[in-house]
Amino acid sequence: MITRVDNVDVLPGVGPKRLNALHELGIFTIEDLISYFPFRYEDLGERLPSETLDGEKVTFKGIVSAPAVVTRFGKKNQTRFGLLIEHENIRVTFFNQPWIAQNIDVGQEIAVYGTYNAAKAALTGMKMINASTDALDPIYPASKQVTAKTIRHLIELAWADVRGTLDSLVPTTIREKYRLLDRNSQIEAMHFPVDMLAAKAARRSAAFEEFFVFQMRLQLLKLADQNFAGEGINYDTLALEKFEAELPFDLTPAQQKVISEILQDQKRPRHMNRLLQGDVGSGKTVVAAMAMYAVVTAGMQAAIMAPTEILAQQHALNLAQLFENAGVSLRVELLTSGLKVAARRQLLEDLESGEIDILVGTHALLQPDVAFHHLGLAVIDEQHRFGVKQRAALRENGVNPDILAMTATPIPRTLSITAYGEMDVSVIDQLPIGRKAIQTTRMSHNQLDHAIAFVKKQIDAGAQAYVVTPLIEESESLDVQNATAMYEAMQLEFPQYTVGLLHGRLSNDEKKALMADFKANHIQILVATTVIEVGVDVPNATVMLILDADRFGLAQLHQLRGRVGRGHRQSYTILVADPKTDYGTARLDAMVETTNGFILAQRDLELRGSGDILGTKQSGVPEFVVGDPIKDLTMMEIAQQEAITLVSQKDWDQQADNHALVDYLSRTMAHYRHFD
C-alpha cells in the first residue's frame, strides 16, 4: 500500500532516470505527485457524426456493429471495427494498437476518441474512452524526460492507493463557509473530472487551498518574527523632537503618522519588520532619517541599503546634509565598491568600533566582512529589488536588526498580500504640501521641436531638465550611442547652457561627479539613460522629456516622472513616442490620465495580465500552480483573513481538525518554493 508520504520511486516503473526527471518537475513524494495538477483539460466532446466537421477530433459513442479485425503488414498493423452511432455506421481504425481488438465485442457500447474523416465515414482512433471518467482529458505540464502520459499514468497508479486517505489542509469550518471540496474530492476531480463544472469546482477549491497554505506560512513567519526577541530601542525623544523642529520643512501628517508607527515598533522589545510605502516624492528619506537617528540616540548604529551606487551616494549626501542642517553631529559613511583597500579597511574598523553611526551602501553591506559594532536598524531602499531571501539573509546575519524596507513603487493589493505579506505596512499617502501635480503630455516624434522649445522656456526661467533615452536591452553600446547622439543634438540646441551625459558605461566616480554637478545646477540639461530611474532628487528640475516612451514599462515611466515635481515649481513630463502596439498606447494613456502611482500600479498589473509570467515575476508576485493571485485577488484576501483568524486562536495547532495542516506546514516549510 502506497501512502502520500512515500517517495515517488515506490511506484512501479520509476527507476533512477525517471526519478531524476520527476525531481526536476518538483515531484519528490507521492503527495507532490498527486498535487501535480493538469493545467487544462481537453474536452473529448461526445457528438454525433452529423454534428462533426471533417478532420475534427471527437468522441463517438455507439454499439460495436462489426467485429475487430487486425491486419498486419511487416512491423505495422491496424485494427478495424464497425461502430453504429444512432443510425450511422462508422468504420473505426486504430494503427499499431492490436490489443484494442481484445476488448471489442459486437453489441457492446463503447466510446472512441479520434479524428473524423467525413468523406469516408471513418474515424482514426486515438484512444478508447471510459465514458464515466474520461470525459475530459487532463493535460499535464511535462518535460522532455517525462511525458504527460507517463505523469498521468503514475498519478493513476498512486491515486488508486491514496484516494480517500487524505485529510484536508483547509479546516472544516472554513471549507463549509466557502463551500469548498474536501481534499480527496478535490484532488480526484482535478485529475479525473466528470465534466467541466466539476473541474472548475475542484480548481476553485485547490486554488483556495494553495492560497490558504501560502498565507498560513506568511502568518507563521510573521509570528516567528514578532516573537523573535528584538531589542527595545531606548531612543532620546527630546533629541528627535529637536531634529524635527530643525528640518527645513514641516513634516506632512502622513509622514508624522508613519514615523510614530515606526518609533513605536522600535521601542518594543520585538523585532520590527516593516514596509514603508510612499509614492515617488512623498518624502520617505526624511522618515528613514528619523528612524535611523532614533537608533543612534540610543547608542546603536543604522545602515541603509540602496539598489545602486548612485543612489547610495545620493543618500549619503542627503543624509549628511539633513543632519548637518539640523545641527546634529553624527558620522555618516558610504561603503562603495570603489574604495581603495586601505580606506575600506579603515572604514570597516571604524564601523566595528562603533565610530560610524550610519553606514550607507548597496547590497555590498551584506558582505561577511562588514561587521557592525551594534546594528540596531537596517533600512532597505527600493524594496522590490530585494527579495524575501535577501530580507532573510539580513536577519540571519547574526545581528538581527530591525528592518525598515522602503518602496516608491506603490504596491497593489495583490502584491502587498503576497510578496510582502509577512511585513507590517506603513503608507505615506500624501505628498508634501504645495506640490503641484505634474502635467503629462504625449507627443509623436515629429513634434519633438515643440518639446525642445518647451524645455528651452523652462530653462530660461531658471529650471533644469532631464532628457531620457531608452535602454536598449539587446545592446548596451547601442544604448550609449543613442544617448550620445541625443547629447550632441542637445548641445547644438542649447549652446548657451551646459548639457551633461549620464549612462551605464561611466565609472561610478564619473556618475557621482555628474549628479553632483546637476544638483548644483552647473549642468542644466541632463541627457541620461534609465540609470537615473530611481531616487534621484533634484528639486529644481521641472521637465522630464522621455524619448521612445513606449519602450518603458509603466512603473519605470512613473519612476522617471517622479524625478520632477519635487520642489514647488510646476513640473512637466513629456512622453515622446509613436507606439506600435495597443499595449504601448494604453501605457502612455494611463500616464497622461493619472499621476497616482497606486492607480498606475494596479493598471499595470491589469494591462500585463497574469498570463505574462515574466512580468509577474518582475513585479514580485510569487508564482502559484493553480490559483492566480491577480485574477483571484478576492480569494487571496479571504485566504489571508482566514489565516490571520486561525493563527490568532489559542492552541489552533493542537486541534484535531488542523493536524493535517500543521503536519503539512512543518514538512514543507523549509524548502518552500515561493521563498527560493
- Judged by the rule CB under 6 A, the positions of this chain that interact with ligand ATP are 249-252, 255, 278, 280-286, 408, 432, 535, 537, 539, 562, 566
The per-residue DSSP string of 384-425 comes to: GGS-HHHHHHHHHTSS--EEEEEESS---HHHHTTTTTTSEE
For ligand ATP, the closer of residues 316 and 486 by Cβ is: 316
For ligand ATP, the closer of residues 42 and 324 by Cβ is: 324
For ligand ATP, the closer of residues 33 and 403 by Cβ is: 403
For ligand ATP, the closer of residues 280 and 544 by Cβ is: 280
For ligand ATP, the closer of residues 280 and 626 by Cβ is: 280
CB of 354 to ligand ATP, least distance (A): 27
- As a whole number of angstroms, the distance between CA 230 and CA 397 comes to 14
CB of 284 to ligand ATP, least distance (A): 4
CB of 256 to ligand ATP, least distance (A): 9
Question: What is the per-residue burial (b if ≥16 Cβ within 10 Å, else e) of 489-528?
Answer: ebeeebeebebbbbbeebeeeebbebbeebbeeebbbbbb
Q: How many residues does the chain have?
A: 676
CB of 23 to ligand ATP, least distance (A): 43
For ligand ATP, the closer of residues 336 and 383 by Cβ is: 383
Contact 275, 218 (CB under 8 A): no
For ligand ATP, the closer of residues 387 and 539 by Cβ is: 539
Q: Which residue type occupies 228?
A: F
Contact 373, 302 (CB under 8 A): no
For ligand ATP, the closer of residues 391 and 566 by Cβ is: 566
CB of 609 to ligand ATP, least distance (A): 27
CB of 409 to ligand ATP, least distance (A): 9
- As a whole number of angstroms, the distance between CA 290 and CA 9 comes to 57
Q: Which residue type occupies 560?
A: L
- The counts of H helices and E strands in the chain are 22, 20
For ligand ATP, the closer of residues 295 and 306 by Cβ is: 306
For ligand ATP, the closer of residues 215 and 314 by Cβ is: 314
- As a whole number of angstroms, the distance between CA 475 and CA 486 comes to 17
Side-by-side strand order, sheet with 273-278: 332-335, 358-361, 301-305, 375-381, 402-407, 273-278, 424-428
- As a whole number of angstroms, the distance between CA 672 and CA 216 comes to 12
CB of 244 to ligand ATP, least distance (A): 10
CB of 254 to ligand ATP, least distance (A): 9
CB of 461 to ligand ATP, least distance (A): 20
CB of 537 to ligand ATP, least distance (A): 4
CB of 536 to ligand ATP, least distance (A): 7
CB of 431 to ligand ATP, least distance (A): 8
Query: Helix 253-267 to helix 284-297 angle, to the nearest 10 degrees?
Result: 30
Contacting residues for 217 by C-beta, under 8 A, at least 6 apart: 665, 669, 672, 674
- As a whole number of angstroms, the distance between CA 140 and CA 118 comes to 31
For ligand ATP, the closer of residues 79 and 318 by Cβ is: 318
For ligand ATP, the closer of residues 171 and 565 by Cβ is: 565
Cα-flanking dihedrals φ and ψ of residue 25, to 5°? -85, 5
- As a whole number of angstroms, the distance between CA 234 and CA 266 comes to 8
For ligand ATP, the closer of residues 129 and 304 by Cβ is: 304
- As a whole number of angstroms, the distance between CA 558 and CA 590 comes to 10
CB of 280 to ligand ATP, least distance (A): 4
Cell of 422: 509577512
Q: Which residue type occupies 282?
A: S
Contacting residues for 18 by C-beta, under 8 A, at least 6 apart: 145, 146, 150
Contact 188, 163 (CB under 8 A): yes
For ligand ATP, the closer of residues 281 and 622 by Cβ is: 281
- Let me know the angle formed at the C-alpha of 547 by 542 and 550, rounded to the nearest 5 degrees: 115
Q: Is 616 helix (H, G, I), strand (E, B) or coil?
A: helix
Neighbouring CB atoms inside 10 A of 472's CB total 17
- As a whole number of angstroms, the distance between CA 230 and CA 624 comes to 33
Containing 190, the helix (H) or strand (E) segment is helix 183-191
For ligand ATP, the closer of residues 280 and 291 by Cβ is: 280
Distances (CA, A) of 57 to 104, 152, 191, 578, 594: 21, 21, 21, 44, 49
CB of 247 to ligand ATP, least distance (A): 8
Which of 73, 5, 67 has its CA nearest to residue 34?
A: 5
CB of 552 to ligand ATP, least distance (A): 16
Cell of 412: 497593489
Cell of 355: 565610530
Residue with smallest beta-carbon separation from ligand ATP? 283
